[in-house]
């Protein structure tokens, strides 16, 4: 399918916003009364913005690098671990 677009963002920005581009920030804008279900203008806050929500999600769900930025050779790490187990206790 071609020509898919973000409907809410397209309505608020007044231009077609395709799904090929990232969802734009619509926070701080007003949805016109004729475009809202309530028939009243709606001021969009950050909590109503999908782009802000995505940024918050990415910030809070970053995975720390377990190696601390260093590349770990798994074969060498396993070899070190097995040789430690085989050492005789004196």
Give per-residue pLDDT as tens, 1-25: 457 888 888 888 888 888 888 889 9
User: What's the predicted TM-score (pTM) here?
Assistant: 0.53
pLDDT tens digit sequence for 24-61: 999 999 989 998 899 999 998 988 888 888 888 887 77
- Percent of the chain at pLDDT > 90 equals 14
Cβ count near 24 (within 10 Å): 17
Count of domains observed in the chain: 1
Where in the sequence is the domain holding 46, given as residue range(s)? Answer: 1-63
The pLDDT of residue 66 is 65
The terminus-to-terminus CA distance of the chain in angstroms comes to 71
For residues 48 and 26, is the Cβ–Cβ distance under 8 A? yes
Residue at 74 is within a domain? no
User: CA–CA distance from 27 to each of 13, 21, 36, 55 (Å)?
Assistant: 11, 17, 16, 13
Residue at 83 is within a domain? no
Residue at 17 is within a domain? yes
């Amino acid at each position: 399918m071609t020509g898919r677009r973000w409907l809410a963002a397209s309505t608020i920005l007044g231009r077609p916003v395709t799904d090929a581009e990232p969802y734009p920030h619509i926070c701080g804008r007003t949805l016109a009364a004729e475009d809202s279900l309530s028939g009243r203008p709606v001021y969009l806050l950050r909590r109503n913005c999908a782009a802000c929500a995505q940024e918050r999600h990415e910030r809070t769900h970053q995975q720390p690098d377990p190696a601390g930025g260093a590349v770990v050779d798994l074969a060498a790490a396993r070899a070190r671990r097995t040789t430690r187990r085989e050492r005789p206790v004196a």
